[in-house]
Chains A and B, each alone.
Chain A
């Protein structure tokens, strides 16, 4: 049981990473990877939503009428997302504004529904909670790696703090404007997948 639990937590972070291996939840959230601050908040929000909705739906799993299963899931997920959105609006107003519609889009983030369907509906609440949280973390990890490169090379800053010194700019260094634009997020993820599959040969597709 303990080994099982450990597997539940560790698997989604690298070997079964929701983005690079399961290819879930790329949807909207890439758009918030231009700056690390936004990516971090998005990662936290997704983690909380996935964890809590997995937990709640796992508690309810034996009572949900089959015919309205998807709707009940959507309602619970939407409830969590709205709560996160409201709390952010009250306590982190600037960041909520920056994330704008993407917070709402967590509802249809395939990770959340995917984990509920694949795990929470067949397991006890505590492992479901852990599974949800771990998937959120694995997902957040990729967001943060992508945003690290995009912010560093696109704006020369990390978390808004200047990393590339002014003297570089004086010497003719320029920020790479392309990194900030949407296409580079996709190409960066492609590269991350390339590296991961180079290391873990068993993940390669034929």
Chain B
């Protein structure tokens, strides 16, 4: 057979391309639901870890279905807000069709570009109290970093945080994800919406009495700096909502209007 003719070459290439496209389309369609479920469960377990419902290890051993169940059991409400802090739409929390806003990258571009945003707010109920979880996103040393910040009822005091990264240096920058003691530093600290930055990660150690700062990771200056900027940028975007304790947008009625319940030491910085 002459394998060098024009017609043969064209027909051969066409067959190969069609065949490959068919195999890929089939594989992609067959595996897509599973991949999407993985991604969703991953995002949810990061939120659950941030809000201190489970540890990271517990989440990964639970399996996708249990994670989704845990989410819809503990969530009180989930909705999206705009740049003015007003609620624009509800997100479904039903276990079979949980809706998340996880295009953080696009939202981050919008925040920086001062364009229209659709920022998610997730309010969980833990021990009878509200825990508000919001995401953050930014650039680390090698690639993007992102995470979830969990606030207590006053929307200022951290009850926890969880971070993830695409390609930070293992053992150094990757500690934002792997080192529980770094995440534990957030607990009890508070954002100060009147200050700039609202919250910061300080190289060489934060002053002990400063409420809105924690220590950077030793040897991971750039990652810490990136994370600090990510948290500050995103909290600034959430400021209209969070600084009013969720009461500014009229539609969230469940929040107590007064903030006196907040721990006294979060009120200001000396």
Contacts and interface: CB of A to CB of B under 8 A. Distances in A.
Direct chain A–B contact by Cβ atoms under 8 Å: yes
Interface of A: 34-35, 62-68, 71-72, 75-76, 78-79, 82-83, 86-87, 89-91, 93-94, 97, 100, 154-155, 175, 177, 180-181
Given A64-B12, A66-B3, A154-B171, A94 B24 contact: no
A193 B24 CA distance: 39
A180 B3 contact: no
B110 interface: no
B79 to A, nearest CB: 27
A93 B12 contact: no
Given A35-B170, A78-B20, A154-B170, 16 more contacts: A34-B169, A64-B12, A65-B9, A66-B4, A67-B4, A82-B24, A86-B27, A87-B31, A90-B31, A90-B35, A90-B38, A91-B34, A100-B143, A154-B171, A155-B171, A177-B172
Contacts of A83: 23-24, 27
B100 to A, nearest CB: 16
A97 B158 CA distance: 28
Residue of B12, B39, B42 ringed by the most chain A CB atoms within 10 A: B12
Contacts of B31: 86-87, 89-90
Contacts of A155: 170-171
B24 A65 contact: no
5 contacts: A71-B13, A83-B24, A93-B39, A94-B60, A180-B172
B265 to A, nearest CB: 33
Contacts of A82: 24, 27
A72 B13 contact: yes
Contact of A65 (B3, B39, B143): B3
A170 B13 CA distance: 64
Contact of B167 (A75, A87, A100, A177): A100
Contact of B42 (A62, A67, A93): A93
Interface of B: 1, 3-4, 8-9, 12-13, 16-17, 20, 23-24, 27-28, 31, 34-35, 38-39, 42, 60, 143, 166-167, 169-172, 219
Contacts of A63: 1, 3, 12
A191 B167 CA distance: 26
B62 to A, nearest CB: 14
A67 B170 contact: no
Contacts of A89: 31, 35, 38
Contacts of B16: 72, 75-76
Contacts of A180: 169-172
B170 A100 contact: no
A125 B13 CA distance: 21
A63 B15 CA distance: 12
Contacts of A65: 3-4, 8-9, 12-13
Contacts of B13: 65, 68, 71-72
B9 A75 contact: no
Residue from the set B8, B31, B39, B60 with the largest chain A CB neighbour count within 10 Å: B31
Contacts of B35: 86, 89-90, 93
A56 to B, nearest CB: 11
Given A79-B20, A79-B23, A91-B34, A181 B4 contact: no
Contacts of B12: 63-65, 68, 72
A66 B13 CA distance: 11
A168 to B, nearest CB: 16
A54 B28 CA distance: 23
Contacts of A177: 171-172, 219
In the complex, which of the residues B3, B8, B143 has the most CB atoms of chain A within 10 Å of its own CB atom?
B3
A94 B45 CA distance: 13
A154 B169 CA distance: 11
Interchain residue pairs A-B with the least CB separation, the first 9: A93-B38, A65-B9, A90-B34, A90-B31, A34-B170, A89-B35, A155-B171, A180-B171, A79-B20
A77 to B, nearest CB: 11
Contacts of B143: 100
A34 to B, nearest CB: 5
A48 B148 CA distance: 37
